[in-house]
């Protein structure tokens, strides 16, 4: 009986302890929303975003990024209405004033010269600074170069709040590793790197994440180590993809099938399975510039990192050149040719079009005076129009084409009846290498 009572008291303490934790997630995009939903299954969470439309949609249970299902989102929104855990989304600063953990998940883009643009991070830090109280912990999740949290964001928090770092308030950094559209590796299933501004805070931050991340956590010794770890994960991928893109260019000149070469080489236990392609999105194609900028600031000019970026950024134009070359070889008139582009999203099975490199292919093909129709069943045509000023369609066109370019491996494209889309003699160019025998050429 005593044991039962003790156990109950212990459980109650655990519950009360959890109830004392109130988390604000600042920025409810691809990273912030899944994290807010996950935390809200155990804690009271306020999701904060400056985008009113996004807030209204989320509070009604709709996530247009398709990262969180309507059912899962509605569950936590409803829980918030009826209890002490759950999610409530708001764009009002007063709604986050009573939180004691602030987790910042705002974008970290580059400007037109590929230099890091920290404006959203500064702005989010100003917001948090206005409500920061003694004892609060601010954790940054946005991908940055080492030093951004402590050298760029903390001074803003100190200035706006009037509080002292590591005396009145504390910080942490925990990079996100999710992959948009990936329903297998969801946030709770990916081991999470954590860190804190003091060893004790590191443990506290780690404990908070460990309470919801089923895959576990890795507590890094410092915030800068955690920041550096994230940025090199994506830089490593970028460089490896650049290498296979270079191989594709070489093997195309040698008239050897790149996919077949990679398949053969891949039979060795330590050959890394990277594939050639367009490197878009706001992570792999952007993060290396963050690391490069910091290195340059310190007087080191990164060679491999920037060479990788240059090569990957050139692939859109290269693909267009290859398509046109094939058309000419098959006697297809290029000027005025009707070309169907399959996909505009930056990656398969997701509606995210930010920094998609398919637009480079489209632009280069249009420069050859071709007539390009872009079909993407996932992307929102209004968003594409707003971002790039180009038209797209969400349903498969009824007409036929002189060339078809599969640019994104959306699942819908694998079962298309290409014979209904091709003019006689038309070519099919498979950038992603997923069509097997249906394609006339691959990257
Ligand atoms: N998308 C990914 O797969 C992914 C994966 C790992 C890491 N990251 C990193 O996570 C960060 C966030 O990326 P994302 O893809 O979620 O971005 P996103 O553009 O999808 O979402 C960002 C959200 O932040 C909001 N926002 C912008 N400024 C704000 C401010 N001052 N206050 C409150 N809200 C604000 C925007 O309205 C938007 O809803 C970036 O640093 C990114 O590099 C992204």
Domain boundary among the residues 221, 241, 269 is at 221
183 located within any domain: yes
306 located within any domain: no
Ramachandran region, residue 269 (left: φ > 0; alpha: ψ -120 to 50; beta: rest): alpha
Rounded-to-integer distance, Cα 382 and Cα 392, Å = 9
Domain boundary among the residues 201, 221, 241 is at 221
160 located within any domain: yes
Rounded-to-integer distance, Cα 244 and Cα 34, Å = 32
141 located within any domain: yes
Tell whether 328 and 189 lie within a shared domain.
no
80 located within any domain: yes
Instruction: For ligand 1, say whether the CB of 129 is within 6 Å of any of its atoms.
Output: no
Q: Give the per-residue pLDDT at 4.
A: 39
Instruction: For ligand 1, say whether the CB of 281 is within 6 Å of any of its atoms.
Output: no
Tell whether 203 and 350 lie within a shared domain.
no
Q: Which atom of ligand 1 lies nearest, measured to the CA of 123?
A: 31
Given ligand 1 and candidates 24, 26, 32, which is best to mutate, with the most ligand atoms within 8 Å of its CB? 32
245 located within any domain: no
Instruction: For ligand 1, say whether the CB of 45 is within 6 Å of any of its atoms.
Output: no
Max CA pair span of the chain:
88
Tell whether 57 and 185 lie within a shared domain.
yes
Rounded-to-integer distance, Cα 277 and Cα 282, Å = 16
205 located within any domain: yes
Given ligand 1 and candidates 24, 25, 27, which is best to mutate, with the most ligand atoms within 8 Å of its CB? 27
Query: In this structure, which residue's CA is closest to atom 39 in ligand 1?
Result: 29
Instruction: Tell me the C-alpha to C-alpha distance, in Å, between residue 394 and each of 44, 217, 318, 368.
Output: 38, 40, 26, 25
Beta bridge partners of 165: 169
Tell whether 198 and 333 lie within a shared domain.
no
- The 3-class secondary structure across 251-284, one letter per residue, is HHHCCCCHHHHHHHHCCCCCCCCCCCCCCCCCCC
Instruction: For ligand 1, say whether the CB of 180 is within 6 Å of any of its atoms.
Output: yes
Q: What φ, ψ does residue 116 adopt, rounded to 5°?
A: -55, 135
Q: Give the per-residue pLDDT at 13.
A: 40
Domain boundary among the residues 221, 240, 263 is at 221
Instruction: For ligand 1, say whether the CB of 234 is within 6 Å of any of its atoms.
Output: no
**Residue with the two structure tokens 């070469």:** 261
269 located within any domain: no
Tell whether 215 and 344 lie within a shared domain.
no
Distance 26 CA to ligand 1 centre (A): 9
Instruction: For ligand 1, say whether the CB of 351 is within 6 Å of any of its atoms.
Output: no
pTM, rounded to two decimals: 0.90
Q: Which atom of ligand 1 lies nearest, measured to the CA of 65?
A: 20
Tell whether 217 and 113 lie within a shared domain.
yes
Instruction: For ligand 1, say whether the CB of 28 is within 6 Å of any of its atoms.
Output: yes
Q: Which domain holds residue 372?
A: 314-442
Domain count for the chain: 2
**Residue with the two structure tokens 């230099």:** 115
Tell whether 204 and 328 lie within a shared domain.
no
Instruction: For ligand 1, say whether the CB of 26 is within 6 Å of any of its atoms.
Output: yes
- Hey, which bits of 27-152 come out as E strands? 44-48, 86-90, 101-104, 137-140
Residue 89 known to be catalytic? no
- Tens-digit pLDDT profile for the chain (443 aa)? 343 334 433 343 444 445 589 999 999 999 999 999 999 999 999 999 999 999 999 999 999 999 999 999 999 998 777 778 999 999 999 999 999 999 999 999 999 999 999 999 999 999 999 999 999 999 999 999 999 999 999 999 999 999 999 999 999 999 999 988 888 999 999 999 999 999 999 999 999 999 999 999 999 999 999 999 999 999 999 999 999 999 999 999 999 999 999 999 999 999 999 999 999 988 999 999 999 999 999 999 999 999 999 999 999 999 999 999 999 999 999 999 999 999 999 999 999 999 999 999 999 999 999 999 999 999 999 999 999 999 999 999 999 999 999 999 999 999 899 999 999 999 999 999 888 877 888 88
Q: Any residues with CB less than 8 A from the CB of 172 and at least 6 apart, and which?
A: 137, 138, 139, 140, 194, 195, 196, 197, 201, 202, 205, 223
Rounded-to-integer distance, Cα 123 and Cα 220, Å = 27
Tell whether 83 and 209 lie within a shared domain.
yes
The CATH number of residue 424's host domain is 3.40.50.720
Q: Give the per-residue pLDDT at 19.
A: 57
Tell whether 214 and 346 lie within a shared domain.
no
Rounded-to-integer distance, Cα 88 and Cα 81, Å = 8
Per-state percent for the chain, helix, strand, coil, to nearest 5: 45, 15, 40
CA-wise closest residue to 281 among 380, 329, 216, 347:
347
Q: Give the per-residue pLDDT at 81.
A: 77
Query: In this structure, which residue's CA is closest to atom 11 in ligand 1?
Result: 142
Q: Which atom of ligand 1 lies nearest, measured to the CA of 287?
A: 43
Provide the token pair at 426: 């038309």
245 neighbors 277 (Cβ within 8 angstroms): yes
Tell whether 6 and 108 lie within a shared domain.
yes
Distance 180 CA to ligand 1 centre (A): 12
Q: How many CA atoms lie within 13 A of 263 on its CB side?
A: 6
Q: Any residues with CB less than 8 A from the CB of 329 and at least 6 apart, and which?
A: none
- Candidates 89, 99, 153, 283; catalytic one: 283
Q: Give the per-residue pLDDT at 437.
A: 77
Distance 49 CA to ligand 1 centre (A): 10
């Amino acid at each position: 009986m005593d044991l039962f009572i003790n156990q109950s008291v212990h459980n109650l303490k655990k519950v009360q302890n959890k109830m004392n934790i109130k988390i604000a997630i600042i920025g409810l995009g691809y990273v912030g929303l899944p994290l807010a939903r996950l935390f809200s299954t155990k804690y009271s969470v306020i999701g904060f975003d400056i985008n009113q439309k996004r807030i209204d949609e989320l509070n009604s249970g709709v996530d247009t990024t398709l990262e969180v299902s309507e059912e899962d989102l509605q569950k936590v929104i409803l829980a918030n209405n009826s209890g002490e855990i759950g999610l409530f989304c708001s764009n009002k600063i007063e709604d986050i004033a009573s939180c004691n953990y602030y987790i910042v998940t705002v974008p970290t883009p580059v400007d037109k010269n590929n230099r890091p643009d920290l404006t959203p991070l500064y702005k989010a830090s100003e917001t948090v600074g206005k409500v920061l109280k003694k004892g609060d912990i601010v954790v940054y999740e946005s991908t940055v170069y080492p030093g951004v949290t402590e050298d760029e964001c903390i001074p803003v928090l100190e200035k706006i709040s009037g509080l002292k770092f590591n005396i009145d308030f504390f910080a942490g950094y925990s990079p996100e590793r999710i992959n948009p559209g990936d329903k297998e590796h969801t946030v709770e299933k990916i081991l999470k790197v954590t860190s804190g501004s003091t060893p004790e805070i590191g443990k506290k931050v780690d404990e908070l994440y460990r309470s919801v991340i089923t895959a576990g956590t890795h507590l890094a010794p410092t915030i800068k180590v955690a920041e550096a770890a994230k940025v090199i994960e994506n830089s490593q991928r970028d460089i490896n993809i650049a290498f296979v893109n270079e191989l594709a260019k070489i093997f195309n000149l040698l008239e050897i099938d790149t996919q077949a070469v990679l398949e053969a080489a891949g039979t060795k236990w330590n050959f890394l399975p990277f594939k050639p392609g367009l490197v878009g999105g706001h992570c792999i194609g952007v993060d290396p510039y963050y690391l490069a900028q910091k290195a340059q600031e310190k007087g080191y000019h990164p060679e491999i990192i920037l060479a990788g970026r240059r090569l990957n950024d050139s692939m859109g134009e290269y693909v267009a050149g290859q398509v046109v070359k094939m058309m000419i070889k098959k006697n297809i008139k290029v000027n005025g040719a009707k070309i169907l582009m399959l996909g505009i999203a930056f990656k398969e099975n997701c509606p995210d079009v930010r920094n998609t490199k398919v637009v480079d292919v489209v632009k280069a093909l249009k420069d050859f005076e071709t007539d390009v129709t872009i079909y993407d069943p996932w992307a929102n045509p209004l968003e594409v129009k707003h971002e790039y000023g180009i038209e797209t369609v969400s349903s498969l066109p009824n007409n036929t084409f002189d060339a078809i370019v599969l640019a994104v491996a959306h699942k819908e494209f694998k079962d298309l009846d290409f014979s209904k889309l091709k003019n006689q003699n038309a070519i099919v160019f498979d950038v992603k290498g997923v069509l097997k025998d249906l394609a006339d050429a691959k990257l």
